[in-house]
Amino acid sequence: MSKFKRIETGIEGLCIIEPTVFGDNRGFFLESYSKKEFEEIGITEEFVQDNHSKSKKGVLRGLHFQTKHSQGKLVRVIKGSVYDVAVDIRKGSKTYGQWYGIELSAENKKMFYIPAGFAHGFLTLEDETEFQYKCTDIYAPQYDSGIMYNDKDLNIDWKLEEYGITELTLSEKDKKHQSFKEYTERYQGDHVLLTGANGQLGQDFQKLFDRLGVKYIATDYQELDITDKEKVREYIEKNNFTVVINCAAYNNVDKAEEEIEKCYALNTYAPKNLAEICREKNIIFVTYSTDFVFDGEKKIPYTEEDITNPLSVYSQAKLEGEKYSLEYEKTFLIRTSWVFGMGNSNFCKQVINWSKDRDILKIVDDQVSSPTYSKDLAEFSWDLIQTDKFGLYHFSNSGEVSKYEQAEYILKKIEWSGKLERAKTEDFPLKAKRAKYSKLDSSKIENIVEKKIPHWKEGIDKFLEEMEDKV
């Protein structure tokens, strides 16, 4: 006979557990957890973290969940009492949006098992209440999220009148959670508008989304002119987008010195318009900028806090686009550098093409940054989007290198037999001024998504493999 009685709630996986209590005139004894005994009643998950909180009467915590590292919880009260609530937010669940509440107390000694995929909250009914819970996954603050405790669609009865509670105490965070409707719109599947979809970053986003099963609409200039604000608004209004990712840009740095209006239209006013429309529709906005916003006078990697000083029309237009984009509080703005991928032309492709009909190549050795593999940029961007930690970020592959050294690595990989010579930026008649050093410090995004960014050489190796597969 098991030492634990499992009582079903009507919501699959969600159950009440009553431990066997041994009591006499001395007090009582019970087992609060046994791996073997729990397996016998159908709870096989491994618990990896224990938490303990203390609250006064009338404190309401929740409704909490994590967008990644979803936690299953085994909750109990060791002093005082709570009214505990779990809401089913599991994709595809027959009971999606249903909730169940139960009183847990030191006196009744009941436990509540809440599987991963639920939002959880509790109301303390007595002063000095102590609450304990075991978790099946780690606490990951970057994926911390929540739903309002008093959401009108969930309509949770917290039994305030029954428990004689006239005033609630909530954290500032718990006062600002999303509605269940807002969560559901995102939860039912991100629906992404992808602009500039034919570029190298846009193409890699499409491959990523196809692999992950993310719903998206990919557009390029022919499908959607993002410089036309009213057409963009009309297009977005016709679709239920949850995220807009703007990969479109004017990237001809030298030509921008002459095509100023065109450069500003795409790099400044298009992201401005997109950010404003996203604010109107409460849509997450993602856009990209460049290491060119820095003047290159610094000798160590640039952080997000460093002062900008653009040296060209292109970089000035990008910087102004940044400022407009960041006026919207739900913007992810990601600066990057020396992007290369399968789509469009880039320095890696140029080096390979030059090597086909030249015996001597001259490459500048006085421009230093880090090449960025567009596939890595897409994947880390998507991981970042899941965190809801909006703001400005830097992303480039790890390591730093000159253009000369980058070319040298590529040419060795493809076994070119010609001669590579060093040159200086001033040796070439470029209309736009370049920064000599523009390596980006990407530690902020690494820390947020808890992933190590690959080295630029790894990116080039994978890129060359892609090139071979395409041939």
Q: Which amino acid is at 232?
A: V
**C-alpha distance from residue 134 to each of 45, 72, 76, 77, 126 (Å):** 11, 8, 9, 12, 22
Q: Which two tokens stand for residue 210?
A: 């196809």
Could you tell me which residues come within 8 angstroms of residue 157 by beta carbon, excluding any fewer than 6 positions away? 101
Return phi, psi of residue 396, to 5°: -145, 160
Q: For 153-167, give the DSSP string.
A: TT-----TTTTT---
Q: Alpha-carbon distance 48 to 213, whole Å?
A: 30
Q: Alpha-carbon distance 108 to 77, whole Å?
A: 9
Could you tell me which residues come within 8 angstroms of residue 161 by beta carbon, excluding any fewer than 6 positions away? none
Are 266 and 260 in contact by the 8 Å Cβ rule? The answer is no
Return phi, psi of residue 381, to 5°: -60, -45
Q: Which two tokens stand for residue 403?
A: 């253009």
Q: Alpha-carbon distance 404 to 366, whole Å?
A: 8
3-state secondary structure 60-90: EEEEEEECCCCCCEEEEEEECEEEEEEEECC
The CA R_g of the chain, rounded to the nearest whole Å, is 28
Q: For 80-117, give the DSSP string.
A: SEEEEEEEE--TT-TTTT-EEEEEEETTT--EEEE-TT
Among residues 373, 367, 463, 358, the alpha carbon closest in space to that of 410 is found at: 463
Q: Which residues are catalytic?
A: 64, 133
Are 356 and 314 in contact by the 8 Å Cβ rule? The answer is no
Residue with tokens 């015996």: 359
Computed from CA positions of residues 154, 160, 166, 168, in that sequence, does the dihedral angle turn out positive or negative? negative
**CA 286 centroid distance within chain:** 11
Q: Which two tokens stand for residue 119?
A: 């939002």
What pairs with residue 74 in β-bridges? Answer: 113, 134
Number of Cβ atoms within 10 Å of the Cβ of 69:
16
DSSP state of 381: H
Are 19 and 106 in contact by the 8 Å Cβ rule? The answer is no
